[in-house]
Structure 1
Amino acid sequence: MLCVEVVFSAQAGQAQEWAVRLPPGACLLDALRAVGLETSAWPAGIWGRRAERSQLLRDGDRVELYRPLLVDPKVARRERFARQGARGTGLFARQRPGGKAGY
């Protein structure tokens, strides 16, 4: 028997986890069926990497369902940088008194 963990988060900060035992040769879709999430249209993966629902599972795998992103991470980073300004991030955050910019 394979021991697999299925993780799902419908909202930020609320994660549900199930420990599932499946027969050898089970696929990702079998794990989702075992917890009643087979009809979900969201992308799924194993250990943080997107995978097809036909992907075979191994003992100890972590099956995850991924919510769609609300904001592109690159856009969010640019917006944070614009709010904080150049002096509040990166190398300039901890400048020595009297030191040159960037040191």
Structure 2
Amino acid sequence: MENNQTIHVEVAYALPDKQRIMALELPSGTTVREAVMQSGLDKQFPGLDLLAADVGVFGKVVSKPDVEVLKDGDRVEIYRPLIADPKEVRKQRAAKAKARREA
């Protein structure tokens, strides 16, 4: 039996000064990575590597985007790489605060 159902999903990507959300109608059974590739957002954001980007659904990181299947109404988010390690930033802030207290 052939499955002809479709699902409606959104794929989102944002930079500090530019955001895009693409509404897509895709075949049921589409994976997270397939939806990201179908979005075409890499054409609007030069340098965005859709195959390498971390992705999530409704704010939760998807560890296996090539396997995870989307449900109707899901919002896929493409994440930018972190510029600084949050733990390292906290350590630096604590060291500066300690230095100020000792001064």
| Structure 1 runs not aligned, ≥5 long | 87-103
The residue number in structure 2 matching 1:26 is 30
Aligned residues: 84
Q: Which has the higher contact order (CA 8 A, sep 6+)?
A: 2
4+ residue stretches of structure 1 with deviation over 4 A? none
TM-score by length of 1: 0.65
Matched-pair identity in %: 36
The residue number in structure 2 matching 1:61 is 74
Structure 1 distance, partners of 2:41, 2:33, is 9
Q: Greater Rg, structure 1 or structure 2?
A: 1
In the TM superposition, what are the counterparts of 1:4-15 in structure 2 within 5 Å?
4-9=9-14, 11-15=15-19
Residue 77 of structure 1: SS of its match in structure 2?
helix
Q: Which amino acid aligns with 1:35?
A: S
Residue 76 of structure 1: SS of its match in structure 2?
helix
| Structure 2 runs not aligned, ≥5 long | 1-5, 43-48, 99-103
Residue-by-residue CA offset, 1:38-97 (whole Å, 9 max, x unaligned): 8521112212222222210001111111111111112223334455x48xxxxxxxxxxx
* Structure 1 residue 30, shift from structure 2 partner: 2.2
RMSD between superposed Cα atoms in Å: 2.2
TM-score by length of 2: 0.65
Structure 2 distance, partners of 1:77, 1:13, is 26
The residue number in structure 2 matching 1:73 is 86
